[in-house]
């Protein structure tokens, strides 16, 4: 007899004696009951959903499709809009174009004018109020 077979027989007999006294040991009746419950659960799954489950899924799918339909309506498709909506969209685009092309250069011109006024006012200040900075001064 090999040492491995002797050791395995010892561990089997030891586990049998210890399993009777271990509080965490699982009896064969519990294992058989679990296996039966699991077999019934899997068989029911194979048979498919019952009418209540089918109806619940249909309700949930209907709600999902409604949400999707509403979201699709919110997305503007340029080919599906009516004339009034098209006119409003064109007005908005023209307003945006006018803003960009007219007001932005005028704002820049206004900024340049304000800067020029500031520079003139600094030039008019008396010399003692102006600070002179020489390129040689690094401190």
pLDDT 10s digits, 8-46: 454 454 445 445 678 889 999 999 999 999 999 999 888
pLDDT at residue number 4: 53
pLDDT at residue number 17: 47
pLDDT at residue number 27: 92
- Does the structure show a pLDDT above 60 at 92? yes
pTM exceeding the 0.75 threshold for the entire prediction: no
> In this structure, what token pair is assigned to residue 62?
């209907």
Mean pLDDT of all residues belonging to the chain: 77
Helix or strand holding residue 22 (H, E): none
Decide if 71 contacts 64 (C-beta within 8 A): no
DSSP 54-118: HHHHHHHHHHHHHHHHHHHHHSPPTTS--HHHHHHHHHHHHHHHHIIIIIHHHHHHHHHHHHHHH
The 10s digit of each residue's pLDDT in 55-64 is 999 999 999 9
Question: Residue 120 — very low, low, confident or very high, per pLDDT cuts 50/70/90?
Answer: confident
């Amino acid at each position: 007899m090999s040492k491995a077979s002797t050791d395995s027989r010892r561990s089997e007999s030891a586990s049998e004696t210890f399993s009777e006294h271990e509080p965490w040991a699982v009896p064969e009746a519990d294992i058989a009951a679990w296996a039966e419950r699991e077999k019934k659960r899997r068989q029911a799954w194979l048979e498919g959903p019952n009418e209540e489950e089918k109806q619940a899924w249909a309700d949930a799918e209907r709600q999902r499709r409604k949400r999707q339909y509403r979201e699709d309506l919110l997305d503007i498709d340029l080919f599906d809009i009516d004339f009034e909506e098209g006119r409003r969209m064109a007005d908005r685009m023209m307003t945006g174009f006018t803003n960009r092309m007219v007001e932005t250069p005028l704002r820049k011109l206004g900024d340049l004018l304000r800067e020029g006024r500031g520079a003139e006012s600094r030039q008019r200040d008396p010399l003692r109020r102006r600070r002179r900075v020489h390129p040689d001064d690094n401190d």
